Amino acid sequence: MTTRIKKQTFITLILLAALLTLSIACSTENQTKEESGTPGATSKDLQIISLDGSSTVFPVTEAVAEEYYIKTKGEIPVTVGVSGTGGGMKKFCRGETHISNASRPQKEKERVLCEEGGFTSVELPVAIDGITVVVNQDNDFVTCMTVEQLNTIWDPSSEGNITMWNQVDPTWPAEKMELYGPGQDSGTFDYFTETVNGESQASRGDFTASEDDNVLVTGVSGDKYALAYFGYAYYSENASKLKAIKIVNDQGDCVAPEAAAINSGVYNPLSRPLFIYVRGDVAGVEPVKSFVEFYLSPTGRDLVGEAGYVAYPDEVYELALGRLQNVNTELLWGGASPKSGGVLERLKNNQ
């Protein structure tokens, strides 16, 4: 499998980032915005496409952006930044970006923030991920973990109290755990803490946090007694130096984070959909419209697999395309955290 995980955009427009932000903000102020999300901008207003947000969705979006840039022969520059799902949503709702990458649904407070900014959002599922719990390759004592064991490690009450591996399982060594995980702006952090600890954002704080998943990979690969969690693509890219832990699912089976298990939902409860959000006021405006159509095209679906994630069946992308073309700004989950299943049914019921 070919993966494309880099923390820089392929078109090297980093030096223009500040100018780009100012340009988009000024352009947004001049655009006519309607509460329904009907496009008020014109193509001449959009000289560049700007995306930001989730580090988990970044590999897919970067791959799509690269191919789109090639397809358009460089006529339409695309920038892809990484600031975490929450950080990206803040920029998105301020009108600083056109599209936001998200590894969990837009929250109600974010929806309100965007509406206060003058627009609503088109929510589009683009891939399936399995949050992967990893340890060092030399870790020879952990192969499978329960959600309860993960809770023992990551619960807020564990801070300063659960520090040794043998406190989680007495058969494991009396060695200090070194923990790594996403920061609080991360959608992966939101989803993991809600699933494992029962409340979004509820976590111990004495761990090394970063919105850059490569930092987490480096930390775990360099410490025999380290543990982390992040998106499947980053494990897939670094499988030679990390060990993925199987998770006990709702049937009591130890299941590895593999594409087939993630796709079927057998790898639960850590399988989840990934999203992009498109500003309703530019969803029907070129070149944003063409870019998102390309994202949802067969080429885009192939790139999902190349990036290390699992693509949906074709019907999901066809229905998502219909949402884009209709500028349908009804949120599929209403801000709740969905599991991997049920996406097709929700799309059918919300066209």
Distance, in Å, from the CA atom of 68 to the CA atom of 53, rounded to the nearest integer, reads 19
- State how beta strands 226-230 and 178-181 pair: parallel
Distance, in Å, from the CA atom of 119 to the CA atom of 138, rounded to the nearest integer, reads 50
Residue in the block written with tokens 């992967």: 132
Distance, in Å, from the CA atom of 318 to the CA atom of 320, rounded to the nearest integer, reads 5
Q: Bridge-partner residues for 129, per DSSP?
A: 272
Sheet strands side by side (includes 99-102):
78-80, 49-53, 99-102, 271-279, 121-130
In tens digits, the chain (351 residues) has pLDDT values of: 444 444 444 443 333 433 444 444 444 444 433 333 333 455 556 789 999 999 999 999 999 999 999 999 999 899 999 999 999 999 999 999 999 999 999 999 999 999 999 999 999 999 999 999 999 999 999 999 999 999 999 999 999 999 999 999 999 999 999 999 999 999 999 999 999 999 999 999 999 999 888 999 999 999 999 999 999 999 999 999 999 999 999 999 999 999 999 988 899 999 999 999 999 999 999 999 999 999 999 999 999 999 999 999 999 999 999 999 999 999 887 766 665 557 888 898 887
Q: Which helix (H) or strand (E) holds 244?
A: strand 242-244
What domains are defined for the chain?
14-128+271-349 (3.40.190.10), 132-264 (3.40.190.10)
Cα–Cα–Cα angle for 54, 56, 62, rounded to 5 degrees: 80
Distance, in Å, from the CA atom of 20 to the CA atom of 128, rounded to the nearest integer, reads 31
Quick check: 34 and 40 in contact, CB under 8 A? Answer: yes
Q: Is 198 exposed, middle or buried (0-12, 13-18, 19+ CB in 10 A)?
A: exposed
The reported pLDDT for the residue numbered 342 is 78
